Amino acid sequence: MEEIRELATKFERYSAHSHITGLGLDDSLNAREIGGGLVGQKKAREAAGIIVRLIKEGKMAGRGILIAGPPGTGKTAIAVAISKELGKDIPFVQVSASEFYSSEMKKTEALYQTMRKAIGVRIRDTRRVLEGEVVELDYSMVPNPYNPTQKIPESARITLATKKEKRSFSVGNRIAMQFMYSGISEGDVIIIDKETGRVTKAGRTGSEKRYDIDVEEIVERPDGSVEKDKEYTYVVSLHDLDEARARRSTIFSLFTSESREIDNEIRQAVDEQVKEWIEQGIAELIPGVLFIDETHLMDIELFAFMNRAMESEMAPIIILASNRGFARIRGTDDTSPHGVPLDLLDRLLIITTEPYSREEIRLIIETRSAEMGLLLDQGAIDKLTEIGYKNSLRYAIQLLAPANELAKIRNSGKIEIVDVERAESLFVDVSKSSAYLKEWEKKMLT
């Protein structure tokens, strides 16, 4: 019993691209057949490797990349691999173009904020912080107002210990969410910035091994007081600075929510401040990467805005992904390659991803299930390979989790062909589900 529940929670933590650790290139930037969790797609990976170098050398600022290819050919996977290669200091923001359309703010505002999330500022500073080993952490959970099936922390109580003392604090929802998202638990040494509430994890104490994919740094329980001034460098995004300034400069600060519009004056003031810091030698600008999936959902207004914003000295590197060939540019009657306006296309480097061979699909499925700790017999692998080849790779990968549940219900430690077939009959892929609804609509009309 115990074990099944553990497996189930472990399962949920695997996002679609968690097996990807990098581009899997050798020193001369040639792609290994399998590397970094990626299989095949060598040309695209090698091109991405050059882009990573250009980004690290600061030669890509304000320019863009378009990854074009059919669905399920690894466009998002390659973007994730690029972010892994860049390291955690370089901001990497991933959105779908659909996220720019919300009722809470103008679409161009949403795009602008997202762009500024992808530009980092590395700051050297002395901060008032709380630092210590977490010896106790209790969340007070409430249902997510947007999704009652989920619970989110409303607040938390935390006790931090140094070699000298122990202190307890109660923190609000923003900090509690950060604890949860960064997986803070007892034994971690963390630093909380008293003013901004930013939480950073310094490492773990002791040598106790945890079943984590991340390799964590082992650190000692800190000396001195929990509350102290600490000199350190950290990376914030321009958007973080915008928000902090917006909060300070308005009497409505108590009522502000995460997603409000920010005045351009505030952004200008932040930019000036950052430039001043750079001149004083206490800050450095790190243009990061903004990955926009489903580019065809952007309309002409968003494209025009982005094109202009890319000219600014404070622009991130933009990676667009598209699975459309020629498409109408949203908001116009014109068509263009990938639905992207020509003036923007002019500044993009284009990488294409190609459909996988059967053998590559088999390898991807094997790599993927090994990473998830699943056992499959030959028949199941063959079946999934066929599904991946005929329907889509994404669908084949998505079937792994339900097939594993079905195998467990049969009390089998191995996924067999029956489990895959049953999973396939219960869950359809998008082409089938959309065809089904089309049929249905036809019937309703006649």
Ligand X SMILES: Nc1ncnc2c1ncn2[C@@H]1O[C@H](COP(=O)(O)OP(=O)(O)O)[C@@H](O)[C@H]1O
425 CB-near residues (< 8 Å, 6+ apart): none
22 binds ligand X (CB under 6 A): no
Q: Which does 190 bind (CB under 5 to 8 A by kind): ligand X, Mg ion, none?
A: none
Q: Which does 339 bind (CB under 5 to 8 A by kind): Mg ion, ligand X, none?
A: none
40 binds ligand X (CB under 6 A): yes
Among 31, 65, 73, 175, binds ligand X (CB under 6 A): 73
Complex with ligand X: residue 40 or 91, whichever CB lies closer: 40
Angle between helices 393-409 and 2-12 (to 10 degrees): 170
Segment near ligand X (CB under 6 A), from 35-43, 52-60, 130-138, 165-173?
35-43
> Helix or strand or coil: residue 263?
coil
Among 16, 218, 300, 435, binds ligand X (CB under 6 A): 16
Complex with Mg ion: residue 75 or 267, whichever CB lies closer: 75
227 CB-near residues (< 8 Å, 6+ apart): 128, 129, 130, 167, 194
Among 23, 25, 38, 171, binds ligand X (CB under 6 A): 38
Q: Which does 124 bind (CB under 5 to 8 A by kind): Mg ion, ligand X, none?
A: none
The answer to whether 179 touches 200, Cβ cutoff 8 Å, is no
Backbone angles phi, psi at 386, to 5 degrees: -60, -45
Identify the helix (H) or strand (E) that includes residue 276.
helix 264-279
Among 58, 71, 197, 224, binds ligand X (CB under 6 A): 71
Q: Which does 437 bind (CB under 5 to 8 A by kind): Mg ion, ligand X, none?
A: none
160 binds ligand X (CB under 6 A): no
- What's the token pair of residue 77? 């996977």
Minimum distance, C-beta of residue 327 to Mg ion, in the bound complex (Å): 16
Q: Which does 71 bind (CB under 5 to 8 A by kind): ligand X, Mg ion, none?
A: ligand X
Length of the chain: 446
- How many other C-beta atoms can be found within 10 angstroms of the C-beta atom of residue 194? 11
174 binds ligand X (CB under 6 A): no
410 binds ligand X (CB under 6 A): no
Q: How far apart are CA 334 and CA 299, in angstroms?
A: 11
The answer to whether 322 touches 296, Cβ cutoff 8 Å, is yes
Segment near Mg ion (CB under 5 A), from 75-83, 119-127, 161-169, 424-432?
75-83
Complex with ligand X: residue 69 or 316, whichever CB lies closer: 69
User: Residues binding ligand X: what is the number (CB under 6 A)?
Assistant: 20
377-396: which residues touch ligand X (CB under 6 A)? 393-394
Q: Write the single-letter amino acid at 445.
A: L
292 binds ligand X (CB under 6 A): no
365 binds ligand X (CB under 6 A): no
Q: How far apart are CA 329 and CA 174, in angstroms?
A: 39
Sheet holding 348-352, edge to edge: 92-96, 289-293, 317-322, 64-68, 348-352
Q: Which does 40 bind (CB under 5 to 8 A by kind): Mg ion, ligand X, none?
A: ligand X
- What's the token pair of residue 186? 């007892």
> CA distances (Å), 2 to each of 24, 372, 380, in order?
37, 19, 27
- In the DSSP assignment, the letter for residue 187 is T
Looking only at the bridges linking them, the beta strands covering 317-322 and 64-68 are parallel
76 binds Mg ion (CB under 5 A): yes
Contacts to ligand X by CB under 6 A: 16-17, 20, 37-41, 69, 71-77, 364, 393-394, 397
Contacts to Mg ion by CB under 5 A: 75-76
